Amino acid sequence: MNARLRVIAVGIGLLIAASTLSANTTASDLQPPLRLCTLEHWPPFVDRGGLNGGFAVQVVDEALTLAGIPFQRFYFPWARAVEQTKNGDCDAISELYHDPQREQWADFSVRYGDLSMTLFAHRDVALSYKTLADLKRYRIGLLRGANISPQFHRTEGLQLVSVNSVKQGLQLAYSGRIDAFVTGEKAIRFAMYQLQRELPDIAEQLVPVYPALHTNELFLGFNKIRDKNRDWRERFNRAMAELMASGRYQQILQDQHLADQ
């Protein structure tokens, strides 16, 4: 075969290969991935150094994968994550609480997690309450700058003791230096798991006091700019229902040491 014929043959081969690739490429393969904004660091929900990136990251990743949605995750401080989603640089934001004002720019998914603000008290304290005023007789540990609920912080006369970390609050409650400690229940359960080597019986000695003082639910918020986001939201919702029904969601809670004891 002379040089000219060889070039023609190679050209025909490339055309055939390109046609085959085009025939085997679906529209979904060409679809840009969902761009997901995520809070930079929020253990145990978002923890890039933890198991599978933290509870919220693992649940959302598995649901998106189950739904067949390609995605890229971007980590930002909270205010920037919100702004990136509102202006369309991100298609969705995770770890989002529902707020009627946010419905102006976000379509909310089904709930994929919750953040219950729960008191944990030493078993010997036998703490109970019916109203927030009933808590005035207890010394309650509270993270510096923490926001439990508007009603809680408006209650006058509460004996609040500032602490620097969840672990410190639990250690003080365990030793009896405070009567109870309050923050997100999943954060408490995760910290108790971490403290088990130091305090092997901490999960038996510190018990949750129900009802929770306040509960926030976690959602994905899809911006309303891109039409494809509506389809992605519905597919994510169906995948979450499947994770729940199959028992996989509960298994993730257990693997992350966040399940109820």
Which string of DSSP letters, residue by residue, matches 214-258?
EEEEEEEEEESS-THHHHHHHHHHHHHHHHHHHTHHHHHHHHTT-
pLDDT digits (tens, 9 = 90+) for 190-216: 999 999 999 999 999 999 999 999 998
Instruction: Please check the confidence at residue 9 and state whether its pLDDT lies above 90.
Output: no
pLDDT in tens, 246-258: 999 999 999 999 9
Mean pLDDT for the stretch of residues 114-122:
95
User: 15-37 in b/e burial notation, b at 16+ Cβ within 10 A?
Assistant: eeeeeeeeeeeeeeeeeeebbbb
In this prediction the pTM is 0.76
Q: Does 110 or 17 have the greater pLDDT score?
A: 110
The mean pLDDT value for 227-235 works out to 96
For a pLDDT cut of 90, what percent of the chain falls above it? 79
Q: Give 55's Cβ-side CA count (13 Å radius).
A: 25
Domain ranges within the chain, ordered by starting residue: 29-114+217-255, 116-214
Q: Within a 10 A sphere around the Cβ of 47, how many other Cβ atoms?
A: 18
Q: What per-residue confidence (pLDDT) applies to 261?
A: 59
Element (H, E) at 11: helix 3-24
Is pLDDT at 147 greater than 80 in this prediction?
Answer: yes
What is each CA distance from 149 to 118, 152, 166, 190, 215, in whole angstroms? 11, 5, 18, 22, 9
**Domain 116-214, classified CATH 3.40.190.10, yes or no:** yes
User: Tell me, what's the pLDDT at 21?
Assistant: 34
Residue 30: the pLDDT is 62
As a whole number of angstroms, the distance between CA 21 and CA 137 comes to: 72
- Whole-number pLDDT of residue 116: 93
pLDDT at 259: 83
Fold equal for 29-114+217-255 and 116-214: yes
pLDDT band at 24 (very low <50, low <70, confident <90, very high): very low
pLDDT of 10: 35
As a whole number of Å, the end-to-end CA separation of the chain is 77
- Per-chain mean pLDDT for the chain: 89
Report helix, strand or coil for 259: coil
Assigned CATH topology for domain 29-114+217-255:
D-Maltodextrin-Binding Protein; domain 2 (3.40.190)
